[in-house]
Amino acid sequence: MTTLDDDGFPEVPPPTLNLRALGIGLAVVVPLLILLGLGFGRDPHVMDKPLVGKQAPAFSMPRLSDGATISMEQLVGKPMVVNFWATWCVPCAQEHPNLVEAARRYGDDVQFVGIVYQDKNEAVEAWLDRHGGRAYPTLIDVNAKAAIAYGVYGVPETYFIGADGTILDKHVGPIPWPVLDEQVRKLGGKS
């Protein structure tokens, strides 16, 4: 029989803890929270670098200056800095003076190569004239075959390749001078 309280309402029985429901709820919620926590702990802007530590993909592309075909074999034997860039890419203009300076400073020890991505030859010529930088060879990546082989997401991206052809590191985005200087020194650049 239900008893009534002072106000005439049925008395509500004291709440009891349903351990079974609690156990099931925790079993569902806790793994989801863990997954969420793992997801939040990861920076979505950090790109995978699956090629780091592996042999750099071979390439063969026309050189902008004279159209001569330049292949990877011709460049291996010396550490390399390979920079993917384009004239329509604003951050590429920001980092360009750093690359030119590094090529002038370390060019005897390290080979610098620019690979132009999704761009027209005339636009590249005009851009280089405007930004005053022909310190290293520029290759034209027709149909972006080299960019695909290197897993380029977007420009600029810079690869640091050892003398044996192994990719040692990759920088995504415009490369600041201290980072570039440190990476080139690691490759063996001596100013």
- Please choose, out of 51-59, 107-115, 128-136, 179-187, the segment that lies near other proteins by the rule CB under 8 A: 51-59
Site for other proteins in 146-185 (CB under 8 A): 146-151, 153-154
Minimal distance, residue 146 CB to other proteins, in Å: 7
* CB contact at 8 A, 87 and 64: no
Q: Widest CA span of the chain, in angstroms? A: 100
Rounded Cα–Cα distance for residues 191 and 188 (Å):
10
Number of residues this chain uses to bind other proteins (CB under 8 A):
38
Dihedral over Cα of 41, 153, 166, 160: its sign: negative
CB of 106 closer than 8 Å to CB of 190? yes
Provide, for the chain, the percentages of residues in helix, strand and coil under a 3-state DSSP scheme, each rounded to the nearest 5.
40, 20, 40
Q: Does the protein bind other proteins through residue 16 (CB under 8 A)?
A: no
Q: Does 119 bind other proteins (CB under 8 A)?
A: yes
Closer by beta carbon to other proteins, 153 or else 177: 153
Note the residues at the interface with other proteins (CB under 8 A): 1-2, 4, 9-10, 28, 35, 48, 50-51, 54, 57-60, 71-72, 86, 88, 117-121, 140-151, 153-154
